[in-house]
Amino acid sequence: MAIRPAEQLIHKAAWLYYAHGLRQDEVASQLNISRASVAMYLRKARETGIVNISTSTQLFTDDAMARRLEDAFGLDAVWIAPENAYLADPSTDIAVLAASVFLELAKKGDRIGVAWGRTVYTIADIMSFADLQDVTVVQLCGNLGAPYSYRPDQCTMEIARRLNAKGLNFYAPLVLSTEELAKSLRAEPVIRDQLAGIADCDLALYSVGAVDADSHLVKCGALSPAEMEALRSQGAAGVIAGQIIDARGEILDCSYNRRVISAELASLRAIEKRLMVVQEDSKFEPLLAAIAGGLCTHLVVGAHMAERLLQHAGAATKKAS
Could you say which DSSP state residue 296 is in? -
Residue 248 interacts with, from its own copies, DNA, none (CB under 5-8 Å by kind): none
8 binds its own copies (CB under 8 A): yes
232 binds its own copies (CB under 8 A): no
258 binds DNA (CB under 7 A): no
Site residues for DNA, 38-77, by CB under 7 A, read: 39-40, 42-43
Q: How far apart are CA 102 and CA 289, in angstroms?
A: 22
Beta bridge partners of 114: 139, 205
N residues, the chain: 321
Cβ distance to its own copies smaller for residue 19 or 187: 19
5 binds DNA (CB under 7 A): yes
Among 85, 146, 187, 320, binds its own copies (CB under 8 A): 85
Q: How far apart are CA 49 and CA 46, in angstroms?
A: 5
Could you say which DSSP state residue 147 is in? T
Q: How far apart are CA 245 and CA 136, in angstroms?
A: 27
- Could you tell me the smallest distance in angstroms from the CB atom of residue 177 to DNA? 43
Residue 40 interacts with, from its own copies, DNA, none (CB under 5-8 Å by kind): DNA
Among 11, 12, 29, 33, binds DNA (CB under 7 A): 33
CB 113 within 8 A of CB 144: no
- Could you tell me the smallest distance in angstroms from the CB atom of residue 123 to its own copies? 12
Q: Which stretch binds its own copies (CB under 8 A): 68-76, 83-91, 237-245, 258-266?
A: 83-91
Other CB atoms within 10 A of residue 180 CB:
11
Minimal CA–CA distance to 175: which of 237, 112, 249, 242?
A: 242
Cβ distance to its own copies smaller for residue 83 or 246: 83
- Could you tell me the smallest distance in angstroms from the CB atom of residue 106 to its own copies? 13
Q: How far apart are CA 57 and CA 55, in angstroms?
A: 6
